[in-house]
Amino acid sequence: MKKVVFFGAPDKSHLLLVLGKLLTALERKVLIVDSTFAQSMQGYLPQLEFGCSLREFEGIDVATGLITSAQLERSLLEAEGEAAYDVMLLDTDHTEFVKGRELPGYDKRVWCSNFNRMGMQTNANLMQRLCLHEAEGQPLTFYKLNAPTLPTAIPESYIDSVLPQQAVRWEDTVFRFPLDERDMSVELDNQHHGRIDIRRLSGAYRRTVLDMLQQLFDCDSKAARRGWARSRKACVSGNFCERR
């Protein structure tokens, strides 16, 4: 099973659901784990069920309310464990689930940032608590994800300067999601309709997501585009986009 962890303060729930939807369209069995303090993933599910739970949504298995990996293991007992999945996407903004010596067990690691001042401080504290010096084979590689990006006099390099000096090697690729009212509208619509409809997402959003499929999940460009086309078609036919 390929495991990808997304660290950081910004809300990543909608993005992970979109990625999960595209991977499902490519016939991969996907598990998304929300191990954040805010539990924002709950806002996209048709029924709010706070607490630890594992449920199916749009062909994706979504685990919410989890803080530790032991809680996930208990939730997966009825689902044949991790072996039941091809891909696991972990969203976390703390270090109770994974840190230090466990990090090399993840195939890809994505560091998520924005220019929110409090979010930058939260990320700096998180980086410090990750104990990256404990990881074997350091320095560990991380991709950067900036969302949203918007015109500002503050350079992106300032985000890195706030982080503590750690054993990190940044990948050359940076995933950027420009602030776009269409994308914000789609996120809100998907929340209130209990679905993941990708049809009205902006071209910039689409290009970045397709790039992520290629960089993080070993999809070639043709497969990535095929996943997008299948997901759009499913939304048109109503296979995945009806409230459950």
| Distance between CA atoms of residues 157 and 240, nearest Å | 40
pTM: 0.93
- Which H or E element spans position 148? strand 140-149
The 10s digit of each residue's pLDDT in 199-238 is: 999 999 999 999 999 999 999 999 999 999 999 998 876 6
| Distance between CA atoms of residues 195 and 241, nearest Å | 5
State yes or no: pLDDT of 243 exceeds 50: no
What are 108's strand-pairing partners? Answer: 4
Q: Tell which wins on pLDDT, 145 or 243.
A: 145
Looking up tokens 């036919």 gives 237
DSSP labels, 111-131: EEE-S-HHHHHHHHHHHHHT-
The matching CATH number, chosen from 3.90.1170.50, 3.40.1390.10, 3.50.30.30, 3.40.50.300, for 2-237 is: 3.40.50.300
CA atoms within 13 A on the CB side of 204: 14
Number of other CB atoms surrounding residue 80 within 10 Å: 9
Domain ranges within the chain, ordered by starting residue? 2-237
The 10s digit of each residue's pLDDT in 40-74 is: 999 999 876 666 789 999 999 999 999 999 999 98
- Which H or E element spans position 147? strand 140-149
